Structure 1
């Protein structure tokens, strides 16, 4: 099993088979519009623009599980991201990342790359998972890790 085996729902409600990104590296992030880390959208967009043509796909998965910091509808989330941060990378419908109702993709990501002391639970918004071109999880990054700190890891996967 790998990341390309999953399906997600785009912000517009259409199903997206992640297999369409086969052969590309993925940076999968649980996002929120009202979080102290929300300005990371700017850095994520910069990564998308800098490495997109080389094979990186940044993917945003809004989540309202942490401090209810993503209360909006899918349309509101999309408008916010575009207006405030010029987000042009794929954004998906709101998901849960922890608990019984966690999206299967996030269950997979957490199992493949546990956090501190082996805990699988995602602790907060803007946890990032870098996935290689074969769909295997390369590394998990804490919310505090800024997108601009990921460049060398991304470049290794794209080489």
Structure 2
């Protein structure tokens, strides 16, 4: 997913697309880094590794579900249906579990420059498959001059 996000950022950043990454450790504890530097090192050397460096903003780790859910994700989830409705509680490290929760790492939201949520895509969706929606959001006909892809 990181490489796909980099590719989209390279292709569309000049047209106003901004990609923002929000790591979370509530899914099988896969983001154990204590801060952004540790998380970036994990990306660079482990997943995807090979010296990879994201070309988009990677923020400090937050909770995207549960009692400590960040308000940004409360907002995002309130405007679109969930990508899946079944959860495996044994791999989730938060409570309570709600039907509209983020399913797993790399769930994506396309947000217009006006803050309107345009699309929600599941964790397994290749970022490249969102290009039609990104093109539409960035087109002069839409009246928009930018947008954000949050993952």
Mapped to 1, the partners of 2:132 and 2:18 lie a distance apart of: 16
Q: State the shift of 1:82 in Å.
A: 4.8
Mapped to 2, the partners of 1:58 and 1:119 lie a distance apart of: 26
For the pair 1:54 / 2:11, whether they are aligned, the reply is no
Of 16, 33, 50, 1:72 maps to: 33
Mapped to 2, the partners of 1:122 and 1:132 lie a distance apart of: 20
Of 84, 87, 109, 1:129 maps to: 109
CA 1:106–1:153: 2 relative to 1, 3 Å: same
Q: State the shift of 1:123 in Å.
A: 1.0
Mapped to 2, the partners of 1:49 and 1:80 lie a distance apart of: 22
Residue pair 1:82, 1:88 contacting (<8 A) in 2 also: no
When the two structures are superposed, what TM-score results if normalisation uses the length of structure 1?
Answer: 0.71
SS of match in other structure, 2:78:
helix
Mapped to 2, the partners of 1:143 and 1:156 lie a distance apart of: 22
Q: How many residues align?
A: 120
For the pair 1:42 / 2:9, whether they are aligned, the reply is no
Q: Deviating runs (4+, > 4 A) in structure 1?
A: none
Mapped to 2, the partners of 1:80 and 1:144 lie a distance apart of: 20
Match of 1:154 in 2: 134
SS of match in other structure, 1:129:
strand
When the two structures are superposed, what TM-score results if normalisation uses the length of structure 2?
Answer: 0.74
Mapped to 2, the partners of 1:81 and 1:90 lie a distance apart of: 13
Match of 2:62 in 1: 95
Residue pair 1:95, 1:103 contacting (<8 A) in 2 also: yes
Richer in strand (by share): 1
When structure 1 is superposed on structure 2, of 84-93 and 140-149 the one drifting more is 84-93
Q: State the shift of 1:79 in Å.
A: 2.9
Mapped to 2, the partners of 1:132 and 1:119 lie a distance apart of: 24
Q: CA offsets, 1:19-41, max 9 Å, x none?
A: xxxxxxxxxxxxxxxxxxxxx10
